[in-house]
Amino acid sequence: MNLRTRGKRASAEVHTSAMNDIMFFLLLFFLIASTVTNPNVIKLMLPKSSSGQSVSKKTITVSVTKDLRYYVDKKEVLEADLSTTLASYKTMATELTIVLYVDKTVAIQNVVSVMDTAQKLNIKLVLATEPK
């Protein structure tokens, strides 16, 4: 005795059109997010400041890490060669501003030496901080 009906059976279907939309938006989100991040930044713990300003002129970055390594635009420079390196950047641009990134554990004397170098070369200097 056969109790099953031999008529039409319901077929199982999976609609993936909504999944395609979700995958497209995720891909778009990660592409936009990856262009915003900068992977070539030197990791530093910056001090905090409640009044921050952004700099819009020709700038170069000088970074001092906690182990006293000096970087000018992500290139490592010896402390003795810092003045000559900054002087070469000064000849390239007339209105130059240095953005100084210093780890908060670095002694103030090292910060002042970079500031003195910028002052001797008549270059504007801005100390970078993190907002509170």
Domains of the chain: 48-131 (3.30.420.270)
Task: Tell me the C-alpha distance between 100 and 119, whole Å.
Answer: 13
The model's confidence at residue 16, banded by pLDDT at 50, 70 and 90, is confident
Backbone angles phi, psi at 74, to 5 degrees: 70, 10
For residues 9-36, average pLDDT:
82
Asked whether 49 and 130 are in contact (CB, 8 A), the reply is yes
Q: Report the amino acid identity of residue 65.
A: T
For residues 87-105, average pLDDT:
86
For residues 39-62, average pLDDT:
70
pTM for this prediction: 0.57
Please name which of 49, 111, 84, 115 lies closest in space to residue 125, comparing C-alpha atoms: 115
The model's confidence at residue 39, banded by pLDDT at 50, 70 and 90, is low
The model's confidence at residue 56, banded by pLDDT at 50, 70 and 90, is very low
Q: Which of 2-6, 32-36, 103-107 has the lowest mean pLDDT?
A: 2-6
Residue 96: which H helix or E strand, with range? strand 96-102
Give 18 or 65, the one with higher predicted confidence: 65
pLDDT in tens, 116-127: 999 999 888 998
Q: How many CA atoms lie within 13 A of 9 on its CB side?
A: 6
